[in-house]
Amino acid sequence: MTNLSFEDQLRKERNEIWSRSALCAKNNSESSEKICKEWSQASDALLQKAFDFCFAQQKVALFALGKLGSQELNLSSDVDVLLVAQDESSVSLSSLRKFQKVLTERTSQGFVFRVDFDLRPGGKQGPLVPTLDQFKDYYGNYGETWERLAFVRLRPLCGEALVINEVMSFAKKFSFRRHLDFTLLEDLKTLRSKIQGHYWARSQENVIDLKLGVGGIRDVELFTHALQVIHGGRDPGLQVKGTTEALKLLEEKGLLPQEEAQFLRTHYWNLRQLENYVQALNDEQTHLLRTQEDHPKFILEALTRLPDEMKRCDQIVKSLLGEAPKDLLLEDEIKKLNLPEEDLKELWQEILGQEVLSRNKGRDELARKAFLADFLDTLQQQKGDIRRGLLLLKDFIHGTRAKASFFAMLIREKELLQELAWLFGHSPYLSRILCNRPELLDSFVYRAQDKMSEDLGTLLEEMAEKRLLSEVINGSAFLEDKDLPSLLSHLSSTADSIVESLLGALKKDYPSSIQILALGKWGGQELGFRSDLDFIFVVPEEPTENDFKLAKRFITRLTEPHRGGNIYSIDMRLRPSGKAGPLVIPVKDLIHYLAHEASAWERQAYTKARWIGGAQNVLPLQSFIRRGLTKDELEELEKIRLQLLPNSGVLNVKFSEGGLIDIELAAQTYLLAHKIIPASSHTQDFIATFGDPGRTLIENYGRLRQIEQMLQLVASESLVELQPNHESFQSLALVLQSTPQDLLQEVSDLFAANIAVLKELDPRRQPH
């Protein structure tokens, strides 16, 4: 008896193992899961032997994909494999041809595997053995969603360790991303639609396509892999290969209802049982089960349940993938708009004419049109400013034209679409932030931000983004709930966090005991939109060179331009002696200045003082509040009050008599004149010192501040004047659910009520 060649020995081993597995499948003597697992392990061993025979000592690695990658290989499937070489010098075409021949050549002994190399970079047009650089370049720049899903099951088999480590590390980042993926679900809709179309084209009466049919094997895999890719970037525990393991984890982590997860696992392996059976009959790569042919009892029993189970699977998959968008005709869209003015129709045409940049223009253009139609419909339903909303939408689309994937996500996330329509129809300020920084939409969806970086350059960009994101998130909520205390608290807390992070980062290079004393609205934890940060630098002892260096760099970093503008504008005019005063002041000098030298208006400002970052020193407010106010100082403060009043007759929410500034300065004057230590640096606590009459002022002040902040959101520029004929005032009335006339009357009444109280209580207004 002659010895078998290596190739024939491999074929003999394959046939023996396959025959045992096929017999189990035909007799239903083993579970489909066990059959697939054992056949996958045997296939791994056969492939490794072939690889070692052909690529010995070469810097090449072999990877499994598809069902072999997940160790769920069916009995007569292609094996999806990928070869990657370390570099060009490692590529041996003769070894590749030898490898292909060993595995695929058919002889009297049969064959080992049908091998599919089409999942390589570039598909059939790409090199059969790509290098590491080619692998990374292709998937880094051109990789598509279906390839990301394919890499969920990428598994190394054997070969060069360095290549394996590089490929697996890159593939993990390629498939699983930390941030929201806007293209994935829409791509899957398209992919699933094509699969279903292919299925119906192949369908015949009394034939079930187990793999590509609606509710079939591919549907379960698409659904499972989609959930893994969506959530796996944030939860690495989901980065597993097997379908069963993935479904169990999705259930355990609450990402899939228990009943659905358990059904899909059972349904999947029932389908795989039927698939193994039909493939075991003739070792054919088929997924078609002919229902009218003779079958064993276990197959006939499964067929009675199969139609209902596939329908149920379809419903579950649809819950994630939804319906693919339908094409929308431009002329039909225009006819349905019913826009009142011709210029709006022209604007709409311009929006429709903007091209989308995408590798899959057909798909993304459909998604964009579907989004535009939904957006306009929502804008009209919400009774927002349609012209302004469409202008902002046009800018937004221009900003996202390289990210057509936004539209796919937006037509699926109806609540987000409604929120965007609300912002664009009501708040130019917040809309401009998103138009300038469309990538913030990702974090806006999650209402969260990742941990700050250790690198200063990256940290500064993150801070600028954090400030903008805080305004968008909190502004969006404020437009809806009008909850002023929450808005001011969140915006102030964001400033605290950013300043503490920046100060901490700079202190690593410039060790310093410098502290920040916040003043103004920031000091009172009442920071609003478009607000500056008022503060001074304070040190426990005499300032050092490091203190001054840190202070200068802090100012530069906070105010230098970043994407979307600077982090914050600042105002340091309240430091002792004003602009001419020292940049950094010892705490004892500050206390002395306030107690003995500061003007009355300066002492007013320092009633708002608050340490940032949990500083240990507490500013002894008593030292300057207990100075009280002299007759001359009260007269000076009254002159300042009169100088601040606007010259025009237009109502000014800040500076008109009875407005915000009038109330704030009156309350601060009252504290100083009566030597009262307030409960906090918050304006409401200042006003509360007026006693019972202060309750009216607290309520009125809150309403005026609410109006002021809402005006910042609805106006295209920073405004404090209430001009009845100005479009911003019209928008303000709309968002406050009032009419311009009623809102104007309300503000006038508030001013009058405030003036009446202040005439009785404001020390500046009393005869001296």
- CATH code where residue 723 lies: 1.20.120.330
pLDDT at 301 over 80: yes
Within 10 angstroms of residue 623's Cβ, the number of other Cβ atoms is: 14
Lowest mean pLDDT among 175-189, 327-341, 377-391, 451-465: 327-341
Structure tokens at 168: 């697996």
Per-residue DSSP letter, 510: S
Q: What was the pLDDT predicted at 414?
A: 73
Evaluate whether 442 touches 180 at the Cβ level (below 8 Å).
yes
- Domain match, 122 and 162 both: yes
- Give the dihedral sign, CA 516/521/527/528: negative
Distance CA 733, CA 737 (A): 6
3-state secondary structure of 515: strand
| pLDDT above 60 (res 520) | yes
Identify the three-state secondary structure at position 71: coil
- Point out the domain boundary residue: 131, 158, 175: 175
pLDDT at 620 over 60: no
| 445 assigned to some structural domain | no
Residue 365 structure tokens: 């253009």
**Within this chain, do residues 167 and 37 fall inside the same structural domain, yes or no?**
yes
Q: Do 314 and 395 belong to one domain?
A: no
CA dihedral sign of residues 282, 285, 287, 288: negative
Mean predicted confidence (pLDDT) in 126-136? 92
Domain tally, the chain: 5
* 741 Cβ neighbours under 8 A, 6+ residues apart: 724
Distance CA 14, CA 538 (A): 79
Most confident segment among 109-118, 122-131, 405-414, 502-511 = 502-511
Rounded percentage of the chain residues whose pLDDT exceeds 90: 50
Q: Could you give phi then psi for residue 548, rounded to 5 degrees?
A: -70, -40
CATH of the domain at 484: 3.30.460.10
Which residues, in sequence order, are CB contacts of 105 under 8 Å at separation 6+? 7, 111
Q: How confident is the model at residue 725 (pLDDT cuts 50, 70, 90)?
A: confident
- Do 57 and 165 lie in one domain? The reply is yes
Contact 706/696 with Cβ under 8 angstroms?
no
Beta pairing, strands 288-290 & 533-539:
unpaired
Residue 208 sits in the same domain as residue 294: yes
CA angle, 689 then 672 then 602, to 5°:
125
pLDDT higher than threshold 50 for residue 330 = no
pLDDT for 615 equals 52
pLDDT of 345 reads 65
Q: In this structure, are residues 172 and 156 in contact, taking their beta carbons and an 8 Å threshold? A: no
- Which pLDDT score, from 0 to 100, does residue 15 have? 92
Model confidence band, residue 129 (pLDDT cutoffs 50, 70, 90): very high
Q: Is residue 439 part of a domain?
A: no
What lies within 8 Å, CB to CB, of 317 at 6+ separation is: 192, 215, 219, 220, 222, 223
Residue 386 has pLDDT above 50, yes or no: yes
Residue 84 and residue 162: Cα distance in Å, rounded?
11
Q: Which of 421, 458, 464 is nearest to 440 (CA)?
A: 464
Confidence (pLDDT) at 714? 87
What are 282's two structure tokens? Answer: 């003739």
pLDDT 10s digits, 534-552:
999 999 999 999 999 999 9
The identity of residue 245, as a single letter, is: E
Question: What does the CA dihedral 548, 551, 552, 553 come to, rounded to 10 degrees?
Answer: 120
**CA angle, residues 487, 489, 495, in degrees to nearest 5:** 105
Q: Which of 189-198, 322-331, 424-433, 732-741 has the lowest mean pLDDT?
A: 322-331
Asked if 603 and 670 count as a contact pair (C-beta separation under 8 A), the reply is no
Residue 427 confidence (pLDDT) above 70: yes
* Res 619 pLDDT > 60: no
Q: Which of 426, 442, 474 is where one domain is finished? A: 426
Least confident residue range of 426-435, 637-646, 682-691, 698-707? 426-435
- In a domain, residue 450? The reply is no
**DSSP string covering 366-407:** HHHHHHHHHHHHHHHHTT--HHHHHHHHHHHHHHTTT-THHH
Same-domain status, 18 and 87 = yes
Q: For residue range 22-57, what is the model confidence (pLDDT) as tens digits?
A: 999 999 999 999 999 999 999 999 999 999 999 999
Are 10 and 49 in contact, with CB atoms under 8 Å apart? yes
Gap between the terminal Cα atoms of the chain: 126
Residues 215 and 314 in one domain: yes
When pLDDT is cut at 50, 70 and 90, the band that residue 448 belongs to is low
Residue 717 pLDDT exceeds 90: no
Which segment of 272-276, 399-403, 657-661 scores lowest on mean pLDDT?
Answer: 399-403
In this predicted structure, what is the pLDDT of residue 563?
63
Radius of gyration in angstroms for the set of CA atoms belonging to the chain, rounded to a whole number = 35
H-helix or E-strand spanning residue 445: helix 440-446
DSSP code at position 107: B
- What percentage of the chain's residues is helix, strand, coil (to nearest 5)? 60, 5, 30
Which amino acid makes up residue 464? A
Helix axes 456-481, 693-714, angle to 10 degrees: 110
3-state secondary structure of 433: helix
Residue 456 has pLDDT above 70, yes or no: yes
CA distance 658 to 652: 10
d(CA 441, CA 515): 35
For the residues 677-686, what does the mean pLDDT come to?
91
CA 218, chain centre distance (Å): 29
* Greatest CA separation for the chain: 126
pLDDT score recorded for residue 290: 87
* pLDDT tens-place string over residues 733-750: 888 888 889 999 999 999
Of 94-108, 245-259, 452-466, 698-712, which gets the smallest average pLDDT?
452-466
Note the pLDDT of residue 199.
45
* HEC profile of 635-670: HHHHHHHHHHCCCCCCEECCCCCCCHHHHHHHHHHH
Specify the residue for token string 């319906």.
323
Of residues 122 and 674, more confidence is placed in: 674
- Long-range contacts for 645-653 (Cβ within 8 Å, ≥24 apart)? 646/721, 648/721, 650/721, 650/722, 650/723, 651/721, 651/722, 651/744, 651/747, 651/748, 651/751, 652/720, 652/721, 652/722, 653/704, 653/707, 653/708, 653/711, 653/720, 653/721, 653/722, 653/747
Examine residue 729 and state whether it is found in any structural domain, yes or no: yes
Asked if 182 and 408 touch (Cβ cutoff 8 Å), the reply is yes
Check: CB of residue 740 under 8 Å from CB of residue 733: yes
Write down the pLDDT at residue 36: 94
Q: Are residues 592 and 466 in the same domain?
A: yes
Q: Which of 194-198, 348-352, 368-372, 382-386 has the highest mean pLDDT?
A: 382-386
Same domain, 542 and 460: yes
Same domain assignment for residues 467 and 557: yes
pLDDT at 324 over 50: no
State CA 482 to chain mean position distance.
24
What is the residue-averaged pLDDT of the chain? 85
Residue 81: phi and psi, rounded to 5, are -130, 160
Q: Helix, strand, or coil here: 610?
A: strand
603, 624 Cβ separation under 8 angstroms = yes
613: region left, alpha or beta (phi > 0 left; psi from -120 to 50 alpha): left
Q: Higher pLDDT residue, 242 or 181? A: 242
Q: How many CA atoms lie within 13 A of 123 on its CB side?
A: 6
Answer yes or no: do 280 and 349 share one domain: no
pLDDT grade, residue 449 (50/70/90)?
low
Vertex 328 angle, CA 439 and 436, to 5°: 20
Residue 698 lies in a domain: yes
Q: Which residues pair with 517 in a beta bridge?
A: 536, 611
Q: What's the rounded Cα separation, in Å, for the pair 336 and 339?
A: 9
Q: Does residue 433 form part of some domain? A: no
Q: Of 625, 658, 679, which one is at a domain's C-terminal end? A: 625
Q: Is residue 136 part of a domain?
A: yes
Residue with tokens 């379908």: 243
Query: Distance between CA 327 and CA 346 in Å, rounded?
Result: 21
Residue 4's pLDDT band (cuts 50, 70, 90): confident
At residue 2, the pLDDT reads 55
pLDDT (0 to 100) of residue 342? 59
Residue 595: is its pLDDT beyond 60?
A: yes
Report whether 95 contacts 45 (CB < 8 A): no
Range of the domain at 740: 631-765
The secondary structure of residue 292, as a DSSP letter, is: T
Q: How many CB atoms lie within 10 A of CB 546?
A: 16
Assigned domain for 264 exists: yes
Q: What is the pLDDT of residue 575?
A: 85
Structure tokens at 28: 């239903």
Name the range with the highest mean pLDDT among 80-84, 218-222, 424-428: 80-84
Q: How many CB atoms lie within 10 A of CB 152?
A: 25
Alpha carbon distance 629, 599 (integer Å):
10
Do both 608 and 675 map to the same domain? no
d(CA 53, CA 47): 10
What percentage of residues in the chain have a pLDDT greater than 70? 85
